[in-house]
Amino acid sequence: MSNFGTLLLKEERALFSSPIAYAVITVFLLIMGYTFTSVLFLNKVATLLHIFFQMSMLFVLMLPVITMRLVAEERKTGTLELLLTAPVREVEIVLAKFAASMTVVVVILGLSASYAVVLGLYGYPDWGPIYSGYLGLLLHAGALVAMGLLVSTLTANQIVAAVVSLGLFLLLWMIDTLGYLLPDPYDTFFVSLSLLGHFTPLATGSLFLSDVGFFLSVTLAGLFLSVRALARR
């Protein structure tokens, strides 16, 4: 665990010593603040449903900026080889990079919790969908970070990593539209891969183990494949 703690501290310093994390957090909260103000004070709707869907889409668009540098930058600068020859395991490297990236997500979700506080002060919201919605956002972001980390392990170019990750995220976000056009049983298969399809029940207050299991499975698969990709170096 000492190796993991050292690696995590290294990744946290690398992430928050650059303006990327602060830019993502600031832009994210500015956009969401505008949406929240419009929904609550202009439309007089005491719900975070629209906020949750917009936040999930912003994660799709912005998290590639966080994950693109995780391994690609170290491979380009040559520090990855030095890291892999150190007395640390590949799984510790991957988990440290994943945990550091999830710190940005946790900060965003923590600051956005003020929306729920304001909602409670000015309205009478149903707290069940709010709790499940935040859980869904955390699981959704974890799956995206794991996939973005995997893409970053496969290239030395940060821009390529960001573009490929964004394309993959968007494809999995809207793949259910393709599934509905296909005959059985292909339609069911493609619909079951949809990030939006599994996030929607959580955002609306329906907590199903199948949806939680989907996001956890994608996260674990992304982390496992990232470890295997590093081990082959």
Query: Residue 82: is it exposed, middle or buried by C-beta count within 10 angstroms (0-12/13-18/19+)?
Result: exposed
**DSSP designation for 42:** I
pLDDT by residue for the chain (233 residues), tens only, comes to 577 888 888 888 888 888 888 999 999 989 988 888 877 777 776 678 888 999 999 999 999 999 988 887 777 776 766 676 777 788 888 898 999 999 999 999 999 888 888 887 777 777 888 899 999 999 999 999 999 999 989 887 889 989 999 999 999 888 877 766 766 776 677 778 888 889 999 998 888 898 999 999 999 999 999 989 887 76
Strand segments, DSSP code E, in 54-186 are none
Residues, the chain: 233
* CB burial of residue 70 (10 Å; 0-12, 13-18, 19+): buried
CB 162 within 8 A of CB 77: no
